[in-house]
Amino acid sequence: MTSTSSENAPDHDHDHDASSPAPATATAAALPPMIPACDPHDGPACLELIEVLTTRAAAVQRRVLAEVLAMNAGTDYLRRFLGDEVAAAAGGEDELAAAFKERVPVYIDVIVTGSMAQYIPLLEFYGGGLPLVSTMYASSESYFGINLRPLDPPEEVVYTLLPNMCYYEFIKVEKDGVGEKVRDGEVVDLVGVEVGAYYELVVTTFTGERVCSPFDFFPTSCMGLYRYRVGDILQVAGFHNAAPQFRFVHRRNVVLSVDTDKTSEDDLLRAVTAAKPLLDPLSCVLAEYTAYADTSSIPGHYVLFWELTPSPSPPPPPCHDDADDAADIGEDKDKVAHVMAACCAAVEAGLDSVYRRCRSRDRSIGPLEIRAVAPGAFDALMDMCVSHGSSVNQYKTPRCIKHPDAIAVLEQRVVGRFFSDAVPHWEPLKVDGAAAAPATGGDQ
């Protein structure tokens, strides 16, 4: 076939079973190599190749799978599920394909860290038990690392930074239980990080014809020269050989603050996650959320925008007479108000001790507010962000917003406002009198 080159393509001596009759035509005599060498400028040859591949699609797919399994027969992942069948392939392509489909699990490739962690319960529900796999850690400018244990639970995901992707530097971040301080003067290189410590990632990417896939150790494409602070706070989880492994913690400067409180993206996620089960009586789930600190009034308070959608399996509506409709509507409104107020209180109870102290003792923060928005509100927010220059591929719903235009987009779609009707519990930290020292801050 004119579209392939025998000197450039791998040798394939068994394009069909030896026991099967020889094909009737020269075109069908043998499948082309699975990575054929076709001159992209030779239009007729490329068209002929497309015709051959698409005409024999089923055979090509069996061949592709057999080659994939043969080339990767020694990997722990495949041997774990297929054992010696991968190396032997004694049963032929059809039997090997059947064994592959039966034993090797399908998975969902998804981001499970940071602002995407809130979607894990929904993915687990709709995925029907399929593993959630976060394969890599990357940005628009470069790939950084890969997950060497892809079947680990989402909450245990760590990424191993690949030293060939870019030049890494790390700025030390100190966490004291109340906030964090970025120590700009303390920068270490890739092998100088300490297990358990927190760092902000700084990268310098290649220029020229380089960089782009962690699976290509001689990168071939380029995103340009950058040296910049990625804005991610990472914690060192360990090392793989001499390369550090990191756990994603949160984005830098994603903080809500009214007084002395500092609520990070991760803090907010935990508090919102704890409150979500309270929505069950309304037969709805939280689809999206974001927040901002409203300081237009005194005292200021946290505002959360929530977009709610019906539960995947809502209960059937109760039967009733038309005469009862007005009473039911009134009862439904009271029920919604009660549930949403409880959600506000639950979010507050899940925030840290500094926030709760400001709410209960200092009274420097007002009751937390949830503003329910109409369906599609967060799509409108995405459209606005993209129109202002955000990357479509990299867009994620911001968990804390400050820009007036972003707040206005959601405010225009508010359908209900609810406030916390309870003061969160807080009590001073008790210190043993024998070991007590003069208090310098915190909850004293």
How many angstroms separate the CA atoms of 37 and 9, rounded?
A: 6
How many angstroms separate the CA atoms of 266 and 411, rounded?
A: 24
Q: Which of 234, 163, 140 is nearest to 195 (CA)?
A: 234
pLDDT given for residue 15 in this prediction: 40
pLDDT given for residue 418 in this prediction: 95
Q: Which of 102, 401, 154, 96 is nearest to 273 (CA)?
A: 154
Q: Hey, where are the domains in the chain?
A: 56-103, 114-251, 255-419
pLDDT-derived band at 137 (thresholds 50, 70, 90) equals: confident
More confident residue, 417 or 227: 417
Residues 404-442: tens digit of each pLDDT? 899 999 999 999 999 998 999 888 766 555 444 444 444
Q: What percent of the chain has pLDDT over 90?
A: 22
Phi, psi of 43 (to 5 degrees): -55, -50
Q: What percent of the chain has pLDDT over 70?
A: 65
Q: Is 442 left (phi over 0), alpha (psi -120 to 50) or beta?
A: left
**How does strand 180-189 pair with strand 167-175?**
antiparallel
Residues 361-402: tens digit of each pLDDT? 888 899 999 999 999 999 999 998 888 877 777 788 888 888
pLDDT-derived band at 8 (thresholds 50, 70, 90) equals: very low
